[in-house]
Structure formats: structure tokens, C-alpha cells
Amino acid sequence: MSTEADSDKVFKALASPWRRQMLDALKDAPATTGELCERFPALDRCSVMQHLRVLEEADLVIAERRGRARWNHLNPLPIKHIHDRWIGAYAARAVDFLDTLKTTVEAP
């Protein structure tokens, strides 16, 4: 992640349950905007497009035009950067703590 502003965009994008569900939908394969609209019938096409725009601004989705179709691809790198910066270090400390606790509790 190059700047704090980039991190802020990713966190903002991930704050919406709809956008997280869209990222989940793109996890296994890219999808057209029309396919995403079908997958989320509670949202109108305009709302789906607005959510995709936020995901694109956070670099979480890369859009590709093929003819009249717009294919949306998941870009997992910003999530990896967030993980490396925020989760990885904390998880390592927690695992170390649990290991120390286990060793202490099991010691004769």
C-alpha cells in the first residue's frame, strides 16, 4: 500500500457488506456487471455500479471492457497489503502469546 490515503480507500470499500459480498462473488472468477446485478437483485443497476466504482477507486476491482460487456476482476493485492500491515503482525503476537500460555499451563 503506497499511502495512508490508499489504505483509507480500501477500508472504506470494505466497510459495506454489499461491497464485501461483491468481492466474494468475484473471488473465484471475474463477472460482468450484468451478472453482478442478477446476483444482487435487492440492488438496482445504478447501485451496483456505484459500489463497483468505490471498489475500483480502492483498486480492489479492475474493470475490463470486452465489446459491450464490462468484466470485473478481483484484485486481491490491496487486501494482502492490509493483511500484512494490520493483521499479520497482530496475529503473530497472538500466536506467540498462546504458545507461551500453552507451555506455561502444560509445564509440570
Q: What are the grid coordinates assigned to 61, written together?
A: 476491482
Domains, the chain, ordered by start: 4-106 (1.10.10.10)
How far is Cα 70 from Cα 5, in angstroms, rounded to an integer?
27
pLDDT of residue 2: 58
- pLDDT 10s digit of each residue in the chain, 108 long? 457 888 899 999 999 999 999 999 999 999 999 999 999 999 999 999 999 999 999 999 999 999 999 999 999 999 999 888 888 878 888 888 888 898 999 988
Give the amino acid at 90.
Answer: Y
The number of C-alpha atoms within 13 Å of 47 and in the hemisphere containing its C-beta is 12
The number of C-alpha atoms within 13 Å of 35 and in the hemisphere containing its C-beta is 12
Global pTM exceeds 0.85 = no
